[in-house]
């Protein structure tokens, strides 16, 4: 996909930007940054084909486009289920196909409300999850995300980061807008700063120092009756699952352990044990540095925190 000397203004108003030239290759993640009013949302609307540029040309747009706007209309009357069915039909899906795809997509984002609820009654976070789900009903060749992390909790940040990475890995283009740094483990291929009219290639340069030993946390969880499925951000760290028991063992980075433990508790799981480990490069494997016995936690307790002499 190619943008050549693209400029945009509304009517006879001031130019939002001009001479924007970019080559977007399959598998790239491009982020547009800038202050409020700099034109980030306008660029994304141009990429999606919702606007025509005032000057310049846009060619090579992929046929399948998934678009997540910055916000929904405040008084949307449709229920979440009806909205997704409607968007699916626009994309060429049958109602049955939408009903089949919807639960998997929303479960991945830990959607917590009733699908029959009117969109206008949803929390900001759950409305954003529905918006993301509709963009993914058909795997897009161009995924456009306007401030996509708005309203999502930290677990939702991780899930979205995983979807962006997966989408780019299968050869789609991902274009998104951001104010500051992109949260989560997302690697940008390109970044265009609209304030500075500059293109950045955020690739690390120079010698890379030897990494310090990586601290990780081994977590054993037990599923309570009525608990939700394990949040995806935790499931990615799954090490083992005991046959015949709702008990799992996870290995996660220590820096993420507090919020992931909190996510597990909020989903209805019990924490059985927590052990901090350090990956020692000369032995090639993890070594327990502060073992812990079983540590029971109730959903009313916060996630355990490390202190001298206590398990993390």
Any idea what the CATH number is for the domain that residue 163 is in?
3.40.50.300
- Is the pLDDT score of 292 beyond 60? no
- Give a yes or no: residue 181 inside a domain: yes
Question: Do both 134 and 270 map to the same domain?
Answer: no
**In the listed set 200, 230, 248, which residue is the last one of a domain according to the structure?**
200
Mean pLDDT, range 176-203, rounded to an integer? 76
Residue 245 belongs to domain with CATH number: 3.30.70
Question: Do both 195 and 247 map to the same domain?
Answer: no
Q: What is the mean pLDDT of the chain?
A: 78
Do you know the residue count of the chain? 312
pLDDT score, position 64 = 94
Question: Do both 154 and 182 map to the same domain?
Answer: yes
pLDDT score, position 76 = 76
Residue 280 domain boundaries: 214-297
Distances (CA, A) of 236 to 148, 184, 228, 251: 21, 14, 16, 9
Task: Evaluate the CA torsion angle 2, 147, 143, 259 in order and state its sign.
Answer: positive
pLDDT score, position 181 = 56
More confident residue, 182 or 8: 8
Question: Do both 19 and 50 map to the same domain?
Answer: yes
Question: Do both 6 and 114 map to the same domain?
Answer: yes
- Is the pLDDT score of 307 beyond 60? no
For 58-105, write each residue's pLDDT tens digit.
999 999 999 998 876 656 788 989 999 999 999 899 989 998 888 888
pLDDT score, position 300 = 43
* Residue 267: closest CA among 298, 230, 239: 230
Q: How many domains does the chain have?
A: 2
- Give a yes or no: residue 303 inside a domain: no
- Give a yes or no: residue 236 inside a domain: yes
For 127-186, write each residue's pLDDT tens digit.
889 999 999 999 999 999 998 888 887 778 888 888 998 999 999 999 999 865 555 557
**In the listed set 167, 200, 233, which residue is the last one of a domain according to the structure?**
200
For 235-261, write each residue's pLDDT tens digit.
665 555 554 557 888 777 777 777 777
């Amino acid at each position: 996909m190619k943008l050549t000397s693209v400029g945009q203004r509304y009517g006879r108003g001031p130019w939002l930007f001009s001479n924007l030239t970019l080559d977007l290759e399959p598998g790239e993640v491009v982020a547009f940054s800038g202050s409020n009013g700099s034109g980030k949302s306008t660029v994304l609307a141009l990429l999606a084909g919702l606007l025509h540029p005032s000057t310049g040309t846009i060619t090579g747009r992929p046929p399948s486009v998934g678009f997540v706007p910055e916000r929904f209309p405040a008084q949307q009357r449709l229920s979440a289920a009806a909205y997704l069915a409607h968007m699916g039909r626009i994309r060429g899906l049958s109602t049955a196909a939408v009903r089949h795809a919807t639960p998997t997509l929303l479960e991945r984002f830990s959607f917590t409300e009733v699908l029959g609820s009117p969109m206008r009654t949803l929390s900001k976070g759950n409305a954003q999850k529905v918006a993301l789900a509709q963009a993914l009903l058909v795997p897009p060749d161009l995924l456009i995300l306007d401030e996509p992390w708005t309203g999502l909790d930290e677990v939702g940040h991780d899930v979205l980061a995983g979807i962006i990475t997966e989408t780019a890995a299968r050869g789609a283009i991902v274009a998104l807008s951001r104010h500051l740094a992109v949260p989560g483990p997302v690697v940008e291929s390109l970044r265009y700063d609209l304030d500075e009219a500059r293109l950045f290639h955020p690739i690390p340069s120079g010698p890379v120092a030897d990494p310090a030993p990586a601290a990780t946390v081994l977590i054993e969880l037990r599923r309570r009756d009525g608990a939700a499925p394990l949040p995806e951000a935790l499931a990615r760290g799954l090490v083992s699952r005991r046959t015949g028991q709702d008990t799992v063992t996870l290995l996660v980075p220590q820096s993420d352990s507090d919020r992931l433990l909190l996510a597990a508790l909020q989903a209805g799981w019990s924490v059985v044990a927590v052990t901090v480990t350090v990956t020692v490069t000369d032995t090639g494997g993890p070594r327990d540095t502060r073992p812990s016995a079983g540590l029971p936690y109730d959903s009313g307790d916060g996630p355990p925190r490390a202190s001298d002499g206590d398990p993390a």
